[in-house]
Structure 1
Amino acid sequence: MKVNVAQMRARIAAPTPDIRLYLLHGPDEAGAQALGQQLAQALGPEVEKIDVESKALRDSPGTLADEAASLSLFGERRLIRVRGADDATVEAVTLLLDAEQAINPVVAFGPGLRTSSKLVKLAIAAPAALALACYPPEGQDAVRLASALAQEQGLRLTGDVPQRLASAAGGDRAVLAREIEKLALFLDAAPDRKRDADSTTLEAIGADLDESELFEVIEAAIDGRVATIGTALRRLREAGGSGIPLLRQLARRLMTLAELRAQADSGVPVDQLVERIFFRERADTARALKRWNAPQLARAIERVRSAERALMQTANAGDVIAEAECAALTRAAARMRG
């Protein structure tokens, strides 16, 4: 069944045995992960989380139904989580939905899935599945999200701080949460210790991101400017930029190029496509479309997403992960240019 955000939140808050699959698809990976975490919390503090890779399901599609029907060793509730779900997992999901028994719910994350994909259509048509398209919050939705996350940390955002935080995060819930956590630590805020966060506080911790430096790095990487990428990364670092916003915006830029590349491959002239782009980005976009092909863009998107996931892990190498990926992408783009 297809549901909206409010409906999915309600069903996740009180999960019922008749729903075997929660499919969270679309570009807002952080929002989808937050919903998945809420589902785990609703199942209880002792829930056992079982992670299944989508590649394993392609090789052995019956694994998903088996895990959903299996009891845990000590009787705890289980939640089966599928990362990177795509149309290659349709057989596994079909077996899950057709199985005689499924006592453990499955939540599948498919950031690359579109509403026209086979897996999404299967979930929408199945009474035992819920499908939600997750999109990054924009405009007032992003501002409201900033205020809501801040309240959870004991913060009251004043003045234009909610707007500035939403803009700096670029619609990424994970980045937004990290910046709010910085504010809470700086002010020693907590749910039982309310604090006000104003523009002065925001500037003191450097949470506001300079978009010009960010844009410079992204375009240098995509354009293969090996001679300038190091300087661009240094300027971004000095301006207070960090790895996750950089990778997130880079992935969005690559996804936009991938969509335009698909239209160009279907016969739409590049000159006509770039007319839809903001005028300052038209020249860079035209060059990128003439250099990058669809498979190259798909690989780049996957690499950038993988780097972002690595940066979100505990005990990681820090922003050097993002900088190394940008440097690698720049070198690859330079080779395409010849």
Structure 2
Amino acid sequence: MVAIKAHEADRALAKLDPAWRLILIYGPDSGLVSERATALARASVDDINDAFQLIRMDGDDVAADPLKLVDEANTIGLFGGRRAIRVSPTSKLLLAAVEPLLSTPSQDAIVIVEAGDLQRTNPLRQACEKARTALAVPCYGDAARDLGSIIDEMVRAAGKSIDRATREQLTGLLGGDRQTSRREIEKLLLYVGDDPAVTEAHIEAVVGDTAQREQAALVDAVFAGRLAVLDLALTKLSSEGLDSGVMLGGLLRHALTLLKARQSVDGGRSARDAVSSMRLPFPRMAAAEAALNAWSVQKLTEAVGILGTATLAVRRDGELARPTAARTLWTLARLAQSGGRGS
């Protein structure tokens, strides 16, 4: 049985067991799923741009004809060498395509399957976790420590520097989606220009305190079920052109933080103590404590799943991004109104 925790993912991917011939990379953080799949593909072949070495397959096509994946995995490369097959995410069932490769894995190619947020009971996830020939890799929203590492990595690569306080300020403005976070950091570094260091002034100029307050108001309104405040904040942020992925990323990150805090409260910690560890600005602490008391682990887990699915949908279809995000926010707010602690 090969099931790993989220914090073990990078270490497991860096030192793959040769017996693992199919890697399922899944989770609500679609940016992190894509980033890890790309890194694994790059490490698995000699030339990632060679179409004979890296074969890309559409998930919908594989679901429609499961034998396509089996045939490709069992094809012998014309020029020898290492091969990798990368299957893009799909909302359709892939179990029929994957099962034959779990029992009889490819000897010639490593198969990388990308997926959205799969619950514990999902047949594909269960099959991969139980198989000795596969590895299931979960990808959840970035924690503050992970975001700090990403910021440091990108700032160094740009030849700049950033102090601890500024890094923490930037971390607080980034969402739980890896891809979105990288885009925001890239935008910031472009604005910094020839300046040697990233400063709080740069961050305020690019992100803006007003946008930060509006996003915070939106997040708190959703988890409090305050529909009127939600409507006002959503209208303002949409008119200002806030990316729907960034909006959902902020909500997802907060939901994950609330979930972790709620679990600690269920373990005996006080709600006030749990909120103090969430690193929120003082004005938001009361709202966070109220949400923590109102939402159960079960309902917060459901909220994380809803946000993960919506984030993936927004990434797939930009034209439907705004209505998808709005519908998701209203769904969560109504869930809060119905009693987040309900079953």
Give TM-score, length-normalised by structure 2: 0.66
Question: Match of 1:248?
Answer: 249
The 10-residue stretch of structure 1 (179-188 or 153-162) with the greater mean CA deviation from structure 2: 153-162
CA contact (8 A) 1:85 1:108 kept: no
SS at match of 1:105: strand
Cα distance in 2 for partners of 1:71, 1:235 equals: 56
CA contact (8 A) 2:142 2:253 kept: no
Cα drift, residue 21 of structure 1: 0.8
The 10-residue stretch of structure 1 (165-174 or 216-225) with the greater mean CA deviation from structure 2: 216-225
Change in CA separation of 1:85 and 1:124 when aligned onto 2, cut-off 3 Å: farther
Cα distance in 1 for partners of 2:274, 2:208 equals: 29
Does 1:24 pair with 2:28?
no
Cα drift, residue 29 of structure 1: 3.3
SS at match of 2:109: coil
Give aligned-pair identity as a percent.
23
Question: Match of 2:113?
Answer: 108
Cα distance in 2 for partners of 1:92, 1:301 equals: 28
Question: Match of 1:308?
Answer: 311
Change in CA separation of 1:310 and 1:148 when aligned onto 2, cut-off 3 Å: same
Question: Match of 1:95?
Answer: 100
Q: How does 1:155-304 map to 2 (within 5 A)?
A: 155-188=160-193, 195-206=196-207, 212-221=213-222, 225-236=226-237, 242-251=243-252, 278=275, 280=286, 281=288, 283-284=290-291, 304=307
Question: Match of 1:68?
Answer: 73
Cα drift, residue 182 of structure 1: 0.6
Cα drift, residue 202 of structure 1: 1.5
Cα distance in 2 for partners of 1:320, 1:153 equals: 32
SS at match of 1:204: helix
| Aligned residues: CA RMSD | 4.9
Which structure 2 residue ranges, 5 or more long, are not aligned? 276-284
Cα drift, residue 277 of structure 1: 7.5
Question: Match of 1:80?
Answer: 86
Which one-letter code corresponds to 2:177 in the other structure? D
1:295-319, Cα deviation, whole Å (9 max, x unpaired): xx96x766644543454469x4597
Choose between structure 1 and 2 for higher RCO, CA contacts under 8 A separated by at least 6 residues: 2
Cα drift, residue 119 of structure 1: 4.4
Cα drift, residue 163 of structure 1: 1.7
Cα distance in 1 for partners of 2:90, 2:252 equals: 16
Cα drift, residue 129 of structure 1: 2.0
The aligned length equals: 314
Cα drift, residue 322 of structure 1: 6.4
Which one-letter code corresponds to 2:9 in the other structure? V
SS at match of 2:150: helix
Which one-letter code corresponds to 1:230 in the other structure? D
Which one-letter code corresponds to 1:10 in the other structure? A
Cα distance in 2 for partners of 1:66, 1:81 equals: 14
Question: Match of 1:45?
Answer: 49
SS at match of 1:112: coil
Cα distance in 1 for partners of 2:150, 2:333 equals: 37
Which one-letter code corresponds to 1:173 in the other structure? R
